[in-house]
Each structure stands twice: as structure tokens, then as C-alpha cells.
């Protein structure tokens, strides 16, 4: 491809609202253009990279025995009513009504459609296992689209769905997808970790996220320094702290004035105690049941002042479908005090306390009265929790729940997600088969997503510098660029074109920068776009029979004889791909 005819509009500046490096670079390097919030055009460069990602995904999915299909974007409401998600899904589901008055939605995911597809044609255990996947546009009306392709409203996903005769077989399907994901993300040149994750509202029992390590990632993850335990902090369990709870002494807690002191730092600073002595008391509202049977209950969740609440742990412990921090009015109603003075002593709502906080002897807590706290508080003597359960968010430095190691904290970008769904969809939707004994049973399912367009952004978060992108060979829109420093039509340009033709016929994906631009512009664009290998030919080089070759990833440069250039470039690409 010749750059003079190629639509790669590079920009000096990024749009002002772009914060993530990948967002800025994808726009500046001419890979994407925004249409509206969270919705993008892929330009030729962007599409080439997306196709490379898709090709890797297809290759590994096919090798794992999955078969490609293509389902529609538009989905009828009836299917979502059958699964029960039409009501449950919330505002990320973009719903509409067609001219005949039928309700429908743009597919954010395809469990309903695939279950309908499979239940029609698959009736016998002989047709199982079955794994179908697609690479297709999804629409989710994300509340905060962010970072260009990182969190779009419309984005490209690979979604696969496995159907098996029983749980053991479903686990085997899950494992084979897990293994395929390892290969896919490794081939995409990503530094990633599979982590234990929360099943969220897709349901299911076992789930892992594949997280690309990047400081700009939205997810917090922890992984053990010794064993292979790794989890999203939302999920990370913590071992019970050692040591007994101190004996409850005689006496009673003392009420002290703490005028205007509300935050942990203010209260502990004022009273001169460590934050680990404070019983941070958060009022939460848990909702369970559905429709007319929905009930809400208020609880107090207590942690040490130096710890953060993991609200998903509360949700799981209570079996609630949502748990939220109470609004100010509820806090005032429940504690009888303004926000900032809650404590467990004399509180009417049930108390959940984290095991670490439960071990604090001689504690400080809010007195459920404005401008007052208690000191000298003891669990058992001064208050009785309903439950002592792990409530806190894991952090770097915490002990590993599986071994003697220590957890380290990372930020991550979720590029893939595997779920063992069980019969959560097949049962309500009647996706059944006749087993070996002629008995009808629901199929056991798994579902497996990969953010194809998000991978493009995640790869850039890991590989860029202040000049631009540094593509791994496997994802680069072109493996090599040839820059002619001559004028169009002159001897230098002609010789450069011959090099370009030579590389092309050797199967190297090459872009030829034949534009009538200054050398500086060509160098800057090549670095911005991020070709792994750049070949430069100028007048002096032509005279001495040499080209300069630059490797983008490490900045190394080589002078190479023109007649050996094809071998040299192919060799370099091989080396880079193997790294």
C-alpha cells in the first residue's frame, strides 16, 4: 500500500477530552474517529488491527473446536422475557419498539438468542457438546463511555457459548476456553493474568477474567507473590486474622465530644488513636427478591478505620441482589445522628462486622449522636454483631488466602471473561435434550467473551511511548514501513519503491511512504503509527548501497545492504514475534 493513496489521517494533537494514552494515540495515529459518545468509525489502519485480533481469536476458537456463527444485533423482547432479563437488565439495554409495536433491543450479549437457536435444532446427547461463537458488534448504553475503544457503547466482541450434557462436561468446555484464552492473549503480545472474578448479573458459578496489566486499568486486582492465586479485588478473599479477641473488661464505653469531627482522619487525629482502632460504621441497604416479593433491609457494616468496604462481599453474604450505601436521610433515620457519627453501640439495625474489626479491643466508634463518639468500646460487652464476616477490600500487602505468600496489587483492563453458567438460561428457556437413558434434561452452559476492540486499546496501554504506538508484530496494521526520503519519481523514490515491492512479494505487509512530505513528518508518522520495523532510504544511503532499519520496540538501528534487506526484515520480524 502506498501512503500517498492511503487514508491514514494523522493528527498533531489529541482531542481535549481524551485522557487515556490509547484513546489519544488511536485518534492521532488515524486508527479511529468518533461518531458520537462511545461510538466510533474504524479507519483503514484500525480495521486492519481489529482484523488481526479477530483472526487470532478465530484461529484459537476453531482449534478449540468451537464453530463460528453470526447472530443479529436486533433481538426480540420475547426471548428476554423468557430468560427473565427483560426486566432485570437495566438501562444498559437499549430498547425500542418497531412499527408493528413489537418491543426489541440491541444485543448487549447473546445468551437468549443462542439458547433459542440451539433449543430448536439440538435434541439429543449425540449432538453435544456444542460450542458456537461469533465476532460481532454489541451495543451497551454504558453510563460512562470512556477512553475511546476502552469502554464504548458500540464495540466488537467475540462471544462463545458452550452446551454440554452435564456439569463435568461443561467444566471441560470451560477449561478448553480458558486454555484458548491463554493462547489468544499471548499471541496478541499482552502481559495478562487470569483472575477469579464476580459472576455479576450474568449468573453462573465459576468465572475468571483475563486482565491486561496496565496502570490505567479500571479494575483493581491482586495476585500472590508465591502461588498462582490471583483475583479481582471484588472477589479476593482474605484469611481470618490470627489471634483471639481480647477479653471484655468491666465498665462501659465512655462518651466523648468530637465537635465537627466526622471522617476517620478527623476523629482519630482529634482523639490521638490509630485508624486501626476505629470501628468505621457504614449503613447499607440490601434488596432481595423480585417484583412484589422484593424486600429491603438496612444493616450496619463495620470495618477498621484504615480499611475499605467491599460491598460485593456484603451482597454475597446476604444473598441480596443489590446492596448500596444508604443515603443521608436513611443514615439519619437509622442512627438518629448526622452522617459521620454512626457506631454499633445501641444501634437498632443488625450489625455485620469484619473479623479484623471484631478483634479491636478498646475501640473508638460513633455514638449515634451529633458531635459525639465512644471510646473504650468492646464487642460482646457493648454490642453484639449479627455476623462476623469478611467484608473488606483486599489490598497490596495482605496475606494470600491460599498460601503463606503476600498479595500484590495491580490495575487491570478486562479483555476477556469466561463463565460457567450452568442451567441459568437453559432451564427457564427450555433448552433441553434427551440423555442416554431417554430422559429430558437441561443443557449445561458456559459463555465466554472477549473484547476485540478493547484489545486494540489495551495493547496500546502496554506498548507506547511519547512518540506513539509500539505494535507487537501480531497486531500491527502493517509489519513494516518503507520511507523514501527522495522526491516522488526521483532515483531515491524509485529505489525505495523497489525495496517496497521486494518486501511485499516476500509476504511482508508493508506500507510505502511515498508522500511528498518532509523527512521529519515521515519519521514522526511512522513512530506515531507504530510500525514494528521501519526501512529508510535517502540519497546518501542509495549512493553507498545501504538502507537504515529502525526497530520501533527498542529503538535499535541497523545499516543494511540494500540487496539483503528482505532477509534482514523477515529475520527481524521473526525475532520480534518470538519475544
Minimum gap (Å) between residue 323 Cβ and ligand ATP:
18
Kindly tell me the sign of the dihedral angle through the C-alpha atoms of 137, 138, 140, 142: negative
Among 451, 472, 486, 532, the residue binding ligand ATP under the rule CB under 6 A is 451
217 binds ligand ATP per the rule CB under 6 A: no
- If one asks whether residue 21 binds ligand ATP (CB under 6 A), the answer comes out as no
CB-CB contact of 75 with 105 (8 Å): yes
Out of 417, 463, 464, 552, the residue judged to bind ligand ATP by CB under 6 A: 417
Of 448-456, 462-470, 500-508, 562-570: span binding ligand ATP (CB under 6 A): 448-456
For residues 34 and 442, what is the distance between their CA atoms, to the nearest angstrom? 44
The residue among 343 and 451 lying less far from ligand ATP, judged by its C-beta, is 451
Say what angle helices 452-462 and 44-63 make with each other, to 10 degrees. Answer: 110
- Of the pair 149, 542, the CB lying nearest ligand ATP is at 149
State how far Cα 510 lies from the chain centre: 33
Stretch that binds ligand ATP, among 83-91, 179-187, 447-455, 466-474 (CB under 6 A): 447-455
Cβ closest to ligand ATP, residue 280 vs residue 454: 454
The residue (of 414 and 513) whose beta carbon lies closer to ligand ATP is: 414
522 binds ligand ATP (CB under 6 A): no
State the cell numbers at 544.
Answer: 553507498
Distant-in-sequence, close-in-space partners of 470: CB < 8 Å, separation ≥ 6 = 463, 464, 530, 532, 552, 553
- At closest approach, how far in Å is the CB of 448 from ligand ATP? 8
Q: Please, which residue, 155 or 433, has the CB nearer to ligand ATP?
A: 155
Give min distance, CB of 157 to ligand ATP, in A.
5
151 binds ligand ATP (CB under 6 A): yes
Q: Which stretch binds ligand ATP (CB under 6 A): 172-180, 243-251, 451-459, 464-472?
A: 451-459
Closer to ligand ATP by CB, 451 or 468: give it. Answer: 451
Q: Are 394 and 238 in contact (CB under 8 A)?
A: yes
Q: Is-contact 245 361, C-beta < 8 A?
A: yes
Nearer to ligand ATP, 219 or 513 (CB): 219
Q: In degrees rounded to 5, what are phi and psi of residue 113?
A: -65, -40
For 212, phi and psi rounded to 5 degrees? -85, 125
- Window contacting ligand ATP (CB under 6 A); options: 185-193, 246-254, 413-421, 565-573: 413-421
| 3-class DSSP state of 27 | helix
Please list every residue from 111 through 150 that binds ligand ATP, using CB under 6 A. 140, 142
β partners of residue 130: 163
Q: Is-contact 398 417, C-beta < 8 A?
A: no
Provide the CA 57 distance to its chain's centre, in angstroms.
17
Supply the minimum distance, in Å, between the C-beta of residue 142 and ligand ATP: 5
Of 105 and 511, CB closest to ligand ATP: 105
Secondary structure (3-state) at 421: strand
> And the C-alpha cell for 180?
484458548
Query: 295-304 and 351-353 as β-strands: parallel, antiparallel, unpaired?
Result: parallel
Task: Pick the closer one to ligand ATP by CB: 89 or 270.
Answer: 89
Q: Does 416 bind ligand ATP (CB under 6 A)?
A: yes
> 438: which 3 cell numbers?
431417554
* Residue 309 binds ligand ATP, judged by CB under 6 A: no
Q: Which CB sits closer to ligand ATP, 129 or 145?
A: 145
Burial (Cβ within 10 Å: 0-12, 13-18, ≥19) of residue 507: exposed
One residue of 80, 155, 192, 374 binding ligand ATP per CB under 6 A: 155
Regarding 157 and contact with ligand ATP (CB under 6 A), the answer is yes
**Could you write out the three-class secondary structure of 199-218?**
CHHHCCCEEEEEEEECCCCC
- The answer to whether residue 449 forms part of the interface with ligand ATP (CB under 6 A) is yes
Q: How many residues bind ligand ATP (CB under 6 A)?
A: 15
Among residues 152, 366, 442, 530, which is the contact residue for ligand ATP, using CB under 6 A?
152
Q: Does 481 bind ligand ATP (CB under 6 A)?
A: no
Residue whose Cβ sits closest to ligand ATP = 451
Piece of 17-25, 119-127, 411-419, 473-481 that binds ligand ATP (CB under 6 A): 411-419
Cell numbers for 390? 469478611
Segment 94 to 113, residues that bind ligand ATP, using CB under 6 A? 109
Rg (CA), the chain: 29
Distance CA 439, CA 435 (A): 5
Q: How many helices (H) and strands (E) does the chain have?
A: 15, 31
- Of the pair 125, 155, the CB lying nearest ligand ATP is at 155
For the sheet containing 254-257, what is the strand order?
Answer: 254-257, 372-377, 363-366
Which positions touch ligand ATP (CB under 6 A)? 109, 140, 142, 151-152, 155, 157, 414-417, 449, 451, 453-454
Amino acid at each position: 500500500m502506498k501512503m500517498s493513496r492511503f487514508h491514514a489521517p494523522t493528527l498533531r494533537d489529541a482531542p481535549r477530552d481524551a485522557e487515556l494514552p490509547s484513546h489519544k494515540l488511536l485518534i492521532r495515529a488515524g486508527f479511529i474517529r468518533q461518531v458520537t459518545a462511545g461510538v466510533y468509525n474504524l479507519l483503514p489502519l484500525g480495521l486492519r488491527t481489529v482484523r488481526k485480533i479477530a483472526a487470532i481469536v478465530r484461529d484459537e476458537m476453531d482449534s478449540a473446536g468451537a464453530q463460528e456463527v453470526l447472530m443479529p444485533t436486533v433481538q426480540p423482547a420475547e426471548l428476554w422475557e423468557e430468560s427473565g432479563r427483560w426486566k432485570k437488565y437495566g438501562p444498559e439495554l437499549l430498547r425500542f419498539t418497531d412499527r408493528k409495536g413489537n418491543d426489541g433491543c440491541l444485543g448487549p450479549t447473546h445468551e437468549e438468542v443462542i439458547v433459542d437457536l440451539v433449543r430448536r435444532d439440538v435434541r439429543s446427547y449425540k449432538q453435544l457438546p456444542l460450542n458456537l461463537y461469533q465476532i460481532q458488534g454489541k451495543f451497551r448504553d454504558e453510563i460512562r463511555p470512556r477512553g475511546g475503544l476502552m469502554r464504548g457503547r458500540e464495540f466488537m466482541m467475540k462471544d462463545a457459548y458452550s452446551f454440554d450434557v452435564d456439569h463435568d462436561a461443561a467444566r471441560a468446555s470451560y477449561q478448553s476456553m480458558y486454555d484458548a484464552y491463554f493462547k489468544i492473549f499471548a499471541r496478541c503480545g499482552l502481559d495478562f493474568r487470569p483472575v477469579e472474578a464476580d459472576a455479576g448479573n450474568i449468573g453462573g458459578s465459576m468465572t475468571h477474567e483475563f486482565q491486561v496489566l496496565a496502570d490505567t486499568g479500571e479494575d483493581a486486582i491482586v495476585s500472590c507473590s508465591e502461588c498462582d492465586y490471583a483475583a479481582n479485588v471484588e472477589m479476593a478473599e482474605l484469611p481470618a486474622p490470627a489471634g483471639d479477641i481480647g477479653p471484655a473488661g468491666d465498665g462501659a464505653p465512655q462518651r466523648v465530644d468530637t465537635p465537627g469531627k466526622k471522617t476517620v482522619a478527623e476523629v482519630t487525629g482529634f482523639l490521638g488513636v490509630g485508624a486501626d482502632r476505629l470501628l468505621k460504621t457504614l449503613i447499607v441497604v440490601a434488596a432481595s427478591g423480585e417484583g412484589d416479593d422484593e424486600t429491603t433491609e438496612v444493616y450496619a457494616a463495620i470495618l477498621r478505620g484504615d480499611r475499605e468496604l467491599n460491598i460485593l462481599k456484603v451482597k454475597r453474604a446476604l444473598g441480596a441482589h443489590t446492596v448500596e450505601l444508604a443515603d443521608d436521610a436513611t443514615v439519619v433515620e437509622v442512627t438518629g445522628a448526622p452522617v459521620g457519627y454512626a457506631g454499633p453501640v445501641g444501634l437498632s439495625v443488625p450489625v455485620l462486622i469484619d473479623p479484623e474489626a471484631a478483634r479491636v479491643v478498646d475501640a473508638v466508634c460513633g455514638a449515634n449522636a451529633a458531635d459525639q463518639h465512644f471510646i473504650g468500646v468492646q464487642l460482646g460487652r457493648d454490642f453484639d454483631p449479627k455476623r462476623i464476616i469478611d467484608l473488606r477490600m483486599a489490598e497490596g500487602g495482605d496475606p494470600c488466602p491460599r498460601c503463606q505468600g503476600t498479595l500484590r496489587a495491580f490495575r487491570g483492563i478486562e479483555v476477556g471473561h469466561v463463565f460457567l453458567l450452568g442451567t441459568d438460561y437453559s432451564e427457564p428457556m427450555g433448552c433441553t435434550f434427551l440423555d442416554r437413558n431417554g430422559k429430558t434434561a437441561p443443557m449445561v452452559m458456559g459463555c465466554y467473551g472477549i473484547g476485540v476492540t478493547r484489545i486494540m486499546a489495551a495493547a496500546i496501554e502496554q506498548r507506547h511511548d511519547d512518540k506513539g504506538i509500539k505494535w507487537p508484530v501480531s497486531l500491527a496494521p502493517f509489519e513494516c514501513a518503507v520511507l523514501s526520503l527522495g522526491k516522488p519519481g526521483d532515483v531515491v523514490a524509485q529505489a525505495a519503491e523497489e525495496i517496497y515491492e521486494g518486501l511485499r512479494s516476500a509476504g511482508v505487509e508493508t506500507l510505502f511512504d511515498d508522500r511528498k512530505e518532509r523527512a521529519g513528518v515521515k519519521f514522526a508518522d511512522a513512530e506515531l503509527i507504530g510500525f514494528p520495523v521501519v526501512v529508510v532510504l535517502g540519497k546518501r544511503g542509495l549512493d553507498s548501497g545501504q538502507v537504515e532499519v529502525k526497530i520501533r520496540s527498542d529503538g535499535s538501528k541497523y545499516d543494511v545492504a540494500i540487496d539483503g534487506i528482505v532477509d534482514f526484515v523477515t529475520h527481524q520480524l521473526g525475532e520480534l514475534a518470538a519475544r
